[in-house]
Amino acid sequence: MIKLTENSSGMRKLDDVLSGFLERCGNQIVEDAKELCPVKTGALKESLELDVNDLGKTEDKTVVIYSNKPYAAYVEYHQAYLRPALDGLETKIRDLI
């Protein structure tokens, strides 16, 4: 039996692997969302960004995909591009591991 404690090297390695996996997943979502994003000027598409937050514990990691454009939520609500990108991740997850 192997026990991983919060400060063990095994837990730190696991934490690094998880961070890398979440970043790859997030990048894939951003890439797919940019392909699905409706384009008028291209500003919304180019504004999509990724942030992997690490709040100190493995279970506290989050992936945030966002835009600084004030109309991004409106476009998502009326012509979804983020939700389909997230939904499509399930079929690509094995390649990201």
Q: Where do the structural domains in the chain lie, given as residue ranges?
A: 9-96
Q: Which residues contact 19 (CB under 8 A, 6 or more apart)?
A: 52, 54, 61
* Residue 48: alpha-carbon gap to chain centroid: 11
Residue 49, classed as helix, strand or coil, is strand
Which among 79, 66, 78, 76 is positioned nearest to 26, based on CA atoms? 66
Q: Tokens 């709040």 label which residue?
A: 55
Residue 93, pLDDT score = 82
Q: What is the pTM of this model?
A: 0.82
Kindly report, residue by residue over 54-81, the tens digit of the pLDDT: 766 666 788 999 999 999 999 999 999 9
Give the pair of three-digit tokens for residue 44: 């919304």
